[in-house]
Amino acid sequence: MATVHIEANKEDIAPRVLMPGDPNRAKFIAEKYLENPKLVNQVRGELAFTGNYKGVSVTIFASGMGIPSMGIYSYELFNDYDVEKIIRIGTAGSYIEDLKVYDILLADSVYSNTTFEEESGRTNTEIINTTAELNSVIMNTARMKGLDLKTGRIHTSEAFYTDNKDYSKYIDMGCKAVEMETYALMCNANKFKKKATALLTISDNLITHEEIDSASRERKLDEMIVLALESIIK
């Protein structure tokens, strides 16, 4: 069974999915961490691989960039492929000094001023909570591994390049970091009553201007990736 955007057969997609934004990152994760990874999608270059992690079937599926792309793929995964839970794994820019480069942030809620929900025929909501049960599993896993996991609200923006450097509005709303996909994921998770959340490595701090380069964004996110894999199989 294929959709307009996914060529995989239904049985080729696992009920547990990790979603990085970058197809190259999806390939890297699958080849490094999964046993016998199989390429199951390459439509429009959005690569997906299914294999086993510690004997459990897991799919690594690239979401692409931004709300529309995540909105399409997470919708079809939940609705057409019966995926039960998705953890977005990616990078984010920090709005606060205390959240530093390479820190891992678990989203407990997400804010956006997008019209995504309204235009998709649902109630327009600015703030959505991520799945508490899934977050609890991730926090317990992090504790067992001795990881210093941060938690907080994130801001999903539709504009990567912006002249607005005043982040006080988002900070006042409780947002600790900004990225571009999680809001769409949570909208679809709520619609289909599925589990979803986001684990984000801080790639740059918008206050101190620290940042990591693009190669590191692809290759040096191992702590977050392993935490997500260990959590998704529980």
pLDDT digits (tens, 9 = 90+) for 130-182: 999 999 999 999 999 999 999 999 999 998 888 888 889 999 999 999 999 99
Which residues of 20-103 form beta strands (DSSP E)? 35-41, 48-53, 56-61, 85-94
In angstroms, the Cα distances linking 106 to 32, 193, 196 are: 23, 20, 11
**Catalytic status, residue 204:** yes
Query: For 175-206, what is each residue's pLDDT tens digit?
Result: 999 999 999 999 999 999 999 999 999 999 98
- Percentage with pLDDT > 90 across the chain: 81
Q: Which of 82, 98, 204, 213 is catalytic?
A: 204
Task: Write down the pTM of the prediction.
Answer: 0.94
- Which class is domain 10-232? alpha beta
Give residue limits of the domains in the chain. 10-232
Strand-pair partners of 28:
none
